[in-house]
Homo-oligomer: A and B are copies of this chain.
Amino acid sequence: MPLKGIVKRQIRFEEIDMLQIAWHGHYTSFFEDARIQLGNHYGIGYMDLYSQGILAPIKTMHVDFINPLRFMEEITIEGILHYTEASRINSEYIIRNKEDKIAATGYVVQMMLNTDYELFLTQPAYYKNFCNKWKAGRLI
């Protein structure tokens, strides 16, 4: 039932720190690459939601670093959307290196606000419609 998407990326020169590994702060950006791809694919990206009067800022972010990443290393970032009936977007991430070893895992929770920055207490219609299709198995 979770929805999944994968993107690839290569570790950049500027992403490496003094310890010769990818600086931990850049993983936020790695996660975002997968989230953007999922959002686009399912029509719930930042701009899709924005055009419906919905802002989806990030409420919580968590990263566990398992194996360090080096310059030029090719990674895959798997993004996983978990179903919810709340007006939230719950996503999970798994970063793997070329040998398919897990480099990092984590999750992100987005809340939903209207354009006056007030919290949606129940799912706004556009997102509810998406969740209904999801629940009915009409997204793959």
Interface residues of A (CB under 8 A from B): 12-14, 16-21, 23-25, 28-29, 32-33, 36, 40, 46-47, 50, 55, 57-65, 68, 71-72, 117
Contacts and interface: CB of A to CB of B under 8 A. Distances in A.
Given A28-B28, A47-B71, A62-B62, A57 B14 contact: no
A68 B57 contact: yes
Given A12-B29, A13-B46, A65 B71 contact: no
Nearest to A111: B65
A36 B20 contact: no
Given A58-B65, A59-B64, A59-B65, A25 B32 contact: yes
Contacts of A36: 12-13, 72
A24 B33 CA distance: 14
Nearest to A107: B62
29 contacts: A12-B32, A12-B33, A12-B36, A13-B23, A13-B32, A13-B46, A14-B23, A14-B29, A14-B32, A16-B18, A18-B20, A18-B71, A19-B50, A19-B55, A19-B57, A24-B28, A24-B57, A24-B58, A25-B29, A28-B28, A36-B72, A40-B72, A47-B71, A57-B68, A58-B65, A60-B64, A61-B62, A61-B63, A61-B65
